[in-house]
């Protein structure tokens, strides 16, 4: 029994949380932009790799400074800080615009570029100041700490990227048939993946090299690895925040209105492009977080997101495409079924489903749903 909980149920919940975070985005995008977003898995990959690149950047400066044998040019340091300064420049631009210093319509790109380069200098100096700390032999950063520290930056960049993708590749098709957007998103998925492969190569990476997690023993006899706790906690907080956004804010109300009837929403004066923007913020943000969380638990590799696509769609369809709450349940169910199916039920020694075919479970569930209840458990929209 304990084996079931420790080695099957907890991993099942972890996987379920990650699926749920991805499936929410798929469901929201489907209900508001009316298309199946095939690049969603690759948005997860992008999120995971942005976080990976940022960690690499910080480590490059801190540890290279600490080690006298290694010299890193100032230019390389500057480049490795660019992702951070880009985030700061984006946020500063948004802040100034809110304060009435805008509109930056024409100047925004220039402002962002100049700001990014300018802000990279103080960041490098700030990290140089940390050098004495890293020179200490015992100094070692906790892997979880590193990931959680860069996570907010990675999310901002991933959202920024998703909005850029929307502007470049999806917006031109807003008024054409939705299936054209699906084709475009299929192309975007490959573009994103090839970008990752170009910049990071195809090898498996990890946020912490040679890092072996010891389970926490506070809940004995339950054993939970620390990072799993973070994954649960993060997912719960995000879902509560999503619930608050959808039910208690004007933006959420507008999103729900647009998902019910886009034309009617527009007629009542809702700024539909702004709703679209918020959909991307939520969808891409959750996808990026899901990617980073997955990267904490599994290797970071270019196909990690694509491999998630099928289970995520299965989860969204199970919950009903277009229903974010359904997507959460769907994600947990699919994750649970995939992991628990490899347990040796019925007291035999063989697993119920051989591990290699785990992924097929999601597909099986999806096919059954499509045959018997295509609208999903929680009534999404079909046809």
Residues that bind other proteins (CB under 8 A): 30, 35-36, 38, 168-169, 172-173, 178-180, 182-184, 186-188, 190-191, 193-195, 197-198, 201, 306, 309-310, 313-314, 317, 354, 356-357, 359-360, 363, 366-367, 370-371, 374, 382-383
SS3 222: coil
Of 197 and 206, nearer to other proteins (C-beta) is 197
Extract the tokens encoding 239.
Answer: 């879902």
Separation of alpha carbons 265 and 307, rounded Å: 36
Separation of alpha carbons 353 and 342, rounded Å: 5
Give strand pairing partners of 224: 216
Separation of alpha carbons 36 and 26, rounded Å: 7
Minimal distance, residue 154 CB to other proteins, in Å? 21
SS3 224: strand
Using alpha carbons, select from 55, 63, 110 the residue that is nearest to residue 81: 55
Of 113 and 190, nearer to other proteins (C-beta) is 190
Of 70 and 126, nearer to other proteins (C-beta) is 70
Minimal distance, residue 42 CB to other proteins, in Å? 11
Minimal distance, residue 314 CB to other proteins, in Å? 8
Of 282 and 315, nearer to other proteins (C-beta) is 315
SS3 105: coil
Minimal distance, residue 262 CB to other proteins, in Å? 16
Minimal distance, residue 316 CB to other proteins, in Å? 9
Of 230 and 357, nearer to other proteins (C-beta) is 357
- List of residues 6+ apart from 10 with CB closer than 8 A: 224, 228
Minimal distance, residue 46 CB to other proteins, in Å? 14
Of 110 and 183, nearer to other proteins (C-beta) is 183
Helix (H) or strand (E) holding 56: helix 40-66
């Amino acid at each position: 029994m304990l084996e079931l909980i420790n080695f099957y149920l907890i991993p099942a919940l972890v996987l379920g949380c990650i699926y749920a975070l991805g499936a929410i985005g798929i469901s929201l995008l489907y209900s508001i932009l009316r298309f199946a977003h095939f690049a969603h898995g690759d948005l997860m990959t992008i999120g995971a790799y942005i976080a990976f690149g940022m960690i690499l950047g910080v480590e490059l400066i801190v540890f290279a400074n600490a080690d006298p044998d290694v010299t890193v040019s100032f230019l390389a340091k500057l480049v490795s800080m660019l992702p951070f300064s880009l985030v700061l420049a984006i946020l500063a631009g948004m802040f100034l615009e809110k304060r009435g210093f805008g509109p930056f319509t024409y100047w925004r790109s220039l402002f962002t570029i100049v700001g990014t380069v300018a802000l990279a200098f103080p960041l490098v100096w700030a990290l140089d100041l940390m050098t004495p700390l890293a020179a200490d032999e015992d100094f070692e950063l906790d892997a979880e700490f590193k990931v959680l520290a860069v996570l907010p930056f990675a999310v901002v960049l991933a959202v920024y990227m998703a909005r850029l993708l929307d502007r470049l590749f999806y917006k031109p098709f807003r008024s054409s048939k939705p299936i054209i957007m699906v084709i475009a998103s299929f192309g975007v998925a490959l573009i994103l993946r090839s970008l990752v492969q170009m910049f990071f190569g195809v090898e498996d990476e990890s946020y912490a090299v040679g890092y072996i997690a010891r389970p926490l023993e506070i809940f004995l006899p339950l054993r939970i690895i620390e990072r799993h706790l973070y994954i649960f906690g993060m997912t719960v907080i995000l879902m509560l925040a999503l619930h608050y956004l959808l039910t208690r804010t004007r933006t959420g109300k507008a999103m729900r209105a647009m998902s019910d009837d886009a034309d009617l929403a527009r007629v009542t004066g809702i700024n539909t492009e702004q709703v679209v923007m918020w959909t991307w913020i939520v969808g891409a943000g959750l996808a990026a977080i899901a990617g980073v969380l997955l990267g904490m638990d599994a290797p970071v590799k270019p196909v990690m997101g694509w491999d998630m696509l099928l289970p995520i769609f299965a989860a969204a369809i199970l919950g009903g495409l277009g229903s974010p709450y359904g997507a959460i349940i769907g994600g947990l169910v699919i994750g649970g079924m995939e992991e628990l199916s490899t347990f040796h039920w019925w007291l035999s020694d063989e697993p119920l489903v051989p591990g290699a075919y785990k992924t097929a479970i999601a597909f099986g569930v999806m096919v059954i749903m499509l045959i018997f209840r295509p609208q999903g458990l929680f009534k999404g929209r079909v046809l």
